[in-house]
Structure 1
Amino acid sequence: MTIKRVCFVGDSFVNGTGDPEYLGWTGRICAAIRKQGYDLTYYNLGIRRETSADISTRWLPEASRRLPEGCDGGIVFSFGVNDTTIEQGKGRIPFKDSVKNANQILTVAKGLFPVLMVSPPPIADRGQNMRTAELSQQFAEVCHQLSIPYLDVFSSLQASKVWMDEVAAYDGAHPSASGYSQMAELVQRWKAWQAWFR
């Protein structure tokens, strides 16, 4: 089956915040698929500052309206950075709740649609990156248990001078076009993503 509609659900990184070309990584990978000759409808459901708790309350009605019964559709989730942000002396979402939210979201989604998950990326805050890396590992374990493909972009992007320099130059969190292009390349090379378009 070839996927013909894709919902990307997540936060500002899914939205592509900071990209002057307004494509982000999601728009870039869909444009690449279109150039390969696939007729793809692309829905960007990224919202700035949203945590796993926020996403858990909205993803199903939003995705269901865009992926009606009978269509060849799939969902790519990516979130987590906002969960690890410190506000008023504590993380916005405790780790155990983030993992619980992810498990609940992905369990329901898998029963309805083909599902992929992309890890949260790094930002220009060492402490938060340590928390995000730990959360990403826990998300990877949830996906492993559910047999959902999980792509770790965190490690590669943290080692990327382009990504980290652009994040630091913009707002400390989001890259510009070149950074998003690097993230897009990681997803484009992912066999689980490619398998949707065979």
Structure 2
Amino acid sequence: MADQADIRICFVGDSFVNGTGDPECLGWTGRICAAASHNNYNVTYYNLGIRRETSADIRDRWQQEVERRLPASCDRRVVFSFGVNDTTIENGKPRVDPSDSIKNARQILTEARRSLPVLMVGPPPIADAEQNQRIIDLSGQLGALCQGLEVPFLEIAGPLRNSEVWISEAIVNDGAHPRAAGYAELAELVQSWSAWRGWFPDRG
């Protein structure tokens, strides 16, 4: 295994990976990597979140972008998170059909896990009850897919839908993205996740 002094992680996904809406410009990815750094891990992280991107967009770009940032000489890892934009209604239908979302995710994860340690964080809720049901349904399907592929999956739609902080910040912001406190709650969920803790065990 490569030297843990040089851990490089790509976070690939949408605006929630990007941290859109966070005035501190950290989102959840910056916060969990800062915590790892404070725990004496030397982490280089690349935020590859792009606003409005669907699973189809991510399927088409992720491999080239990740390969350019994660040379074989380092301890390289990738975290995916997407799905909310797939469930957005445009022209009377979801931007991506749920069956196609799963096909895209299967292709992405199957290719990624051939050479990289992979984690997947599920899609978060927004301030719209109808879309949240679609998000939760897709999250369940993504979780089942990940279980079959032996890719650790963190379901966050349920916990964050019940979070007063996440939803209230989304409402007063743009209806979808929280601000700093909401992203801090999501970061805590990831940091408490056994799969993430396995990557960064406490060094005391």
**What letter corresponds to residue 143 of structure 1 in structure 2?**
C
Distance in 2 (CA, whole Å) between partners of 1:112 and 1:70 is 13
Deviations 1:10-66 (A, max 9, x none): 000000000000000000000000000100001000000000000000000000011
Distance in 1 (CA, whole Å) between partners of 2:143 and 2:46 is 24
Kindly indicate whether residue 111 of structure 2 is the aligned counterpart of residue 108 of structure 1.
yes
SS at match of 2:116: coil
Per the TM alignment, residue 112 of structure 1 is displaced from its structure 2 partner at its CA by 1.3
Kindly indicate whether residue 155 of structure 2 is the aligned counterpart of residue 162 of structure 1.
no
Kindly indicate whether residue 124 of structure 2 is the aligned counterpart of residue 121 of structure 1.
yes
**What letter corresponds to residue 73 of structure 2 in structure 1?**
G
Distance in 2 (CA, whole Å) between partners of 1:72 and 1:36 is 17
Give the one of 186, 189, 194 matched to 2:192: 189
Distance in 1 (CA, whole Å) between partners of 2:169 and 2:189 is 17
Distance in 1 (CA, whole Å) between partners of 2:62 and 2:8 is 15
What residue in structure 1 maps to residue 77 of structure 2? 74
Of 104-113 and 68-77, more deviation after overlay is shown by 68-77
**What letter corresponds to residue 158 of structure 2 in structure 1?**
S
Q: Which runs of 5+ in 2 are unaligned?
A: none
* Over 6 Å off, 4+ runs: none
Q: How does 1:30-49 map to 2 (within 5 A)?
A: 30-49=33-52
Per the TM alignment, residue 197 of structure 1 is displaced from its structure 2 partner at its CA by 2.0
Kindly indicate whether residue 72 of structure 2 is the aligned counterpart of residue 90 of structure 1.
no
Distance in 2 (CA, whole Å) between partners of 1:139 and 1:175 is 23
**What letter corresponds to residue 56 of structure 1 in structure 2?**
R
Per the TM alignment, residue 125 of structure 1 is displaced from its structure 2 partner at its CA by 0.8
CA RMSD of aligned residues (A): 0.9
Distance in 2 (CA, whole Å) between partners of 1:73 and 1:168 is 37
Distance in 1 (CA, whole Å) between partners of 2:198 and 2:166 is 27
TM-score, scaled to structure 2: 0.95
**What letter corresponds to residue 81 of structure 1 in structure 2?**
V
Distance in 1 (CA, whole Å) between partners of 2:199 and 2:140 is 24
What residue in structure 2 maps to residue 57 of structure 1? 60
Deviations 1:139-160 (A, max 9, x none): 0011000000000111110000
Aligned length in residues: 198
Q: Which runs of 5+ in 1 are unaligned?
A: none
